[in-house]
């Protein structure tokens, strides 16, 4: 295995700093630096970008991002045990790595980053979906980031990229695909990690669109989608009856069949219904 930099192999770093992954923190470490560099490359040309990384752990992806030329990496890490290993990386890449100890859900990264900004992370399993939804639902669009290159459990990755008619299709697919191009770029087996998780993983790349794919009021769209998929096996006229007293007429006006189920409705169809519901 070729090295991507002058630092020791990750397994040696983990052993030296006693960094065994903790299930309570949703940690699963990638040890293959060639693989972390491959993931970093999925984020595109980083030479003119700042990169936000959540949960760097011992720094495998961090090293990949820096080796691939990231202008700066801001790494937010909750586990204080990892800080000495990350400090060694910062020393090897002077003035290009800033590490903040803390909870990513409580820290404003924009105080430490300069546009253009991309996000690349092997997200801790226990906060990954919540962080993604935050990044997809800012008050203003376009968001602070150009793209997200994120590792999830494969099941979550499939929900993000799902198409109508599939079992994985739901709220997450609508939120992601309304404002982004989303695709799975790498699939990873459990044995790529230490310790191996019980499920496979996948890297999803999301590119922010300048404008949403179809016009719609976000709050209305979110309410309709959440309500519809909360009872996804029911027909729309039943699952959405709490949204409007004349929901059947509204569905027809939006070009939808009241007898359809949520999983049969396209993103464009949900946006059309959201616009219809905004009318007096």
Buried b (16+ CB within 10 A) or exposed e, 243-268: beeebbebbeebebeeeebbbbbbbe
Structure tokens at 45: 């040309």
Query: Do 187 and 154 meet the contact criterion of CB atoms below 8 Å apart?
Result: yes
Distance CA 277, CA 63 (A): 49
**Confidence band of 2 (pLDDT split at 50, 70, 90):** low
pLDDT at 1 over 60: no
Percent of the chain with pLDDT over 70: 99
Instruction: Give the distance from CA 9 to its chain's centroid.
Output: 27
Tens digit of pLDDT for each residue in 210-242?
A: 999 999 999 999 999 999 999 999 999 999 999
**Confidence band of 4 (pLDDT split at 50, 70, 90):** confident
Q: How many residues does the chain have?
A: 280
Tens digit of pLDDT for each residue in 120-168?
A: 999 887 889 999 999 999 999 999 999 999 999 999 999 999 999 999 9
β-strand 29-30 against 193-194: which pairing, if any?
antiparallel
Rounded mean pLDDT, 5-17: 92
Distance CA 276, CA 272 (A): 6
Instruction: Give the count of beta carbons closer than 10 Å to the beta carbon of residue 77.
Output: 26
Distance CA 85, CA 176 (A): 34
Distance CA 9, CA 264 (A): 48
What radius of gyration, in Å, describes the C-alpha atoms of the chain? Answer: 21
What are 76's strand-pairing partners? 54, 100
Tens digit of pLDDT for each residue in 30-48?
A: 889 999 999 999 999 999 9
User: What count of Cα atoms within 13 Å lies in the side-chain half-sphere of residue 242?
Assistant: 9
Query: Do 208 and 214 meet the contact criterion of CB atoms below 8 Å apart?
Result: no
Query: Do 218 and 252 meet the contact criterion of CB atoms below 8 Å apart?
Result: no
Structure tokens at 170: 């739901």
Query: Do 179 and 141 meet the contact criterion of CB atoms below 8 Å apart?
Result: yes
Query: Do 255 and 277 meet the contact criterion of CB atoms below 8 Å apart?
Result: no
168 or 3, which is more confident? 168
Query: Do 148 and 176 meet the contact criterion of CB atoms below 8 Å apart?
Result: no
Tens digit of pLDDT for each residue in 261-274?
A: 999 999 999 999 99
pTM summary value: 0.94
Range list of β-strands (E), the chain: 29-30, 50-54, 72-77, 97-101, 117-122, 147-153, 180-188, 193-194, 201-208
Percent of the chain with pLDDT over 90: 89
């Amino acid at each position: 295995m070729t090295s991507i930099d002058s630092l020791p192999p990750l397994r040696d770093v983990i052993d030296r700093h006693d960094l065994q992954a903790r299930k309570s923190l949703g940690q699963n470490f990638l040890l293959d630096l060639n693989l972390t560099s491959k993931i970093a490359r999925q984020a595109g040309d980083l030479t003119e970008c700042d990169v936000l990384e959540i949960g760097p752990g011992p720094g495998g992806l961090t090293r990949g991002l820096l080796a691939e030329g990231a202008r700066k990496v801001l790494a937010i890490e909750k586990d204080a045990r990892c800080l000495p290993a990350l400090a060694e990386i910062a020393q090897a890449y002077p003035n290009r790595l800033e590490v903040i100890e803390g909870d990513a859900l409580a820290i404003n990264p924009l105080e430490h980053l300069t546009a253009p900004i991309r996000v690349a992370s092997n997200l801790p399993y226990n906060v990954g979906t919540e962080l993604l939804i935050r990044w997809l639902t800012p008050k203003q669009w376009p968001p602070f980031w150009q793209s997200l290159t994120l590792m999830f459990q494969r099941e979550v990755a499939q929900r993000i990229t799902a198409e109508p008619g599939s079992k994985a299709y739901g709220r997450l697919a609508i939120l992601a695909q309304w404002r982004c191009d989303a695709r799975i770029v790498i699939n990873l087996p459990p044995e790529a990690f230490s310790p191996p998780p019980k499920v496979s993983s996948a890297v999803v790349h999301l590119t922010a669109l300048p404008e949403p794919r179809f016009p719609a009021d976000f709050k209305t769209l979110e309410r309709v989608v959440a309500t519809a998929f909360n009872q996804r096996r029911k027909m729309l006229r039943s699952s959405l009856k709490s949204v409007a007293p004349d929901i059947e007429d509204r569905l027809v006006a939006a070009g939808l069949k009241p007898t359809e189920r949520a999983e049969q409705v396209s993103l464009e169809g949900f946006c059309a219904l959201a616009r219809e519901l905004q009318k007096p």
